[in-house]
Amino acid sequence: MDAAVMQVSDPTEPHTSSTVDQSVAGLRLHALEMGALVIEQVAAAVKSLVERDAVLAQAVLARESRVDAYEKQLDRDSLTFIALQQPVANDLRLARAIVRIGRELERAGDEAKKIARFALSLDQANDGDPVLAVGRQLRHMAALSGSMLRNAVRAADEMNPGLARNVLERDAELDAEFAAALRLVMTYVLQDHRFLRPTIDTIFALKGLERIGDHATNVAEQVLYMLGQDRPQADAA
């Protein structure tokens, strides 16, 4: 009796290159969508603080669960990809880097959440408010850290090493801005002890912006890692 032979795929066989490429592309797209959301969160959180916009601050807090969900889904998808498709060499490097990018973006989102919570804790604008006293520095740090984050996500999208290195180079500028703002706000509180609590919170908000820049730098470093350029060329031996 002739037996029909049924073709059954062997789960141990390597998956096709196109399948792996599609999976990696899916992970990258997920991370980029997450990046766009986090960029929006950071901008909205700072605006809510500077403009005393409680509605906007609440919106940032309401969207925080979406940031967390993106990161958890990215973790699950990457683990599934590694377990089922067993990527090697460059594909494995890409998957690992994308997961790390997701974690850095989630932490940047956490900083936006903290800034929004601080914004909600403030009363209406007061002439002696430490936030107003460092308003210019706060806006400049927000613009710089936001630009670094946007460029880091764009570098991941375009796989652009030059853009990634530009983010790394701007980290020192952001650190200097934070140090200058810290000196100013400390001078302010020494002159008027009534605003000690909001001054401390203002320092944490400034530090949050500095940390957002750090997370952007870490994203940029992962882009270079994906490209096989673990360090900026100027630092390479």
3-class DSSP assignment, residue 140: helix
Q: What is the pLDDT of residue 201?
A: 82
Q: What is the pLDDT of residue 17?
A: 67
The CB-based long-range contact list for 183-189 (8 Å cut-off, 24+ gap) reads 184/133, 184/134, 184/137, 185/130, 185/133, 185/134, 188/130, 188/133, 188/134, 189/130
Q: What is the pLDDT of residue 171?
A: 95
pTM of the full predicted structure? 0.84
Angle at 171 between CA 66 and CA 118, to 5 degrees: 45
Q: Which residues of the chain have pLDDT under 70?
A: 1-17, 123-129, 133, 192, 195, 230-237
Q: What is the pLDDT of residues 82-129, one digit of tens each?
A: 888 787 778 888 888 999 999 999 999 999 999 999 988 876 555 456
Between CA 142 and CA 32 the distance in angstroms is 21
Q: What is the pLDDT of residue 196?
A: 73
Residue ranges and CATH numbers for the domains of the chain are 18-231 (1.20.58.220)
Q: Does residue 52 come out as left (phi exceeding 0), alpha (psi in the -120 to 50 range) or beta?
A: left
